[in-house]
Amino acid sequence: MTYTAHTDLIPRPRLLSPVPPGRSHFPLDRDTLLDARPGTEGVAHWMRSTIGAATGLPLAPGDDDDYRIVLAIDPALPPEGYRLVVDGYAIRLDGGSAAGVFWGAQTFRQLLGPEAFRRAPVVQRDEWHLPMVVIEDEPRFAWRGMMLDVARHFLPKDGVLRYLDLLAAHKLNVLHLHLTDDQGWRIEIRRHPELTATGAWRERTRLGHRASPLWDARPHGGFYTQDDIREIVAYAAARHITVVPEIDIPGHSQAAIAAYPELGNTDVIDTTSVKVWDTWGISPNVLAPTDNTLRFYEQVLEEILGLFPSHFVHIGGDECPKDQWRASPAAQARIAALGLADEDALHGWFIRHFDRWLAERGRRLIGWDEILEGGLAEGAAVSSWRGYAGGIAAARAGHDVVMCPEQHVYLDHRQHAAPDEPVPIGFVRTLEDVYRFEPVPPELTAEQAAHVLGTQANVWTEVMDSQQRLDYQVFPRLAAFAEVAWSRLPAPADRDTADFGRRMAAHYARLDALGVDYRPPGGPHPWQRRPGVLGRPLDGAPPNV
Which DSSP state fits 520?
A: P
Query: In whole angstroms, what is the distance from residue 216 CA to residue 281 CA?
Result: 17
Distances (CA, A) of 57 to 47, 67, 116, 395, 509: 10, 13, 11, 49, 21
- Tally the C-alpha atoms within 13 A of residue 100's C-alpha that lie toward its C-beta: 26
Residue 150 identity: V
Residue 410 identity: Y
Distances (CA, A) of 21 to 16, 25, 132, 133: 15, 11, 10, 11
Characterize the bridge pairing of strands 68-73 and 33-36.
parallel
Q: Which residues contact 212 (CB under 8 A, 6 or more apart)?
A: 206, 533, 534
- Nearest CA to 474 out of 38, 119, 163 is that of 163
Query: In whole angstroms, what is the distance from residue 324 CA to residue 345 CA?
Result: 15
Q: In degrees to the nearest 10, what's the CA dihedral of 158, 164, 169, 171? A: 180
Query: In whole angstroms, what is the distance from residue 169 CA to residue 502 CA?
Result: 19
Helix, strand, coil percentages, rounded to 5, for the chain: 35, 20, 45
Helix axes 98-112, 157-169, angle to 10 degrees: 80
> Which residues does the annotation mark as catalytic?
181, 252, 319
Could you count the other beta carbons within 10 Å of the beta carbon of residue 218? Answer: 8
- Nearest CA to 368 out of 444, 462, 460, 298 is that of 460
Query: In whole angstroms, what is the distance from residue 271 CA to residue 257 CA?
Result: 7
Q: Is 310 helix (H, G, I), strand (E, B) or coil?
A: coil
Which DSSP state fits 84?
A: E
Helix axes 497-513, 477-486, angle to 10 degrees: 120
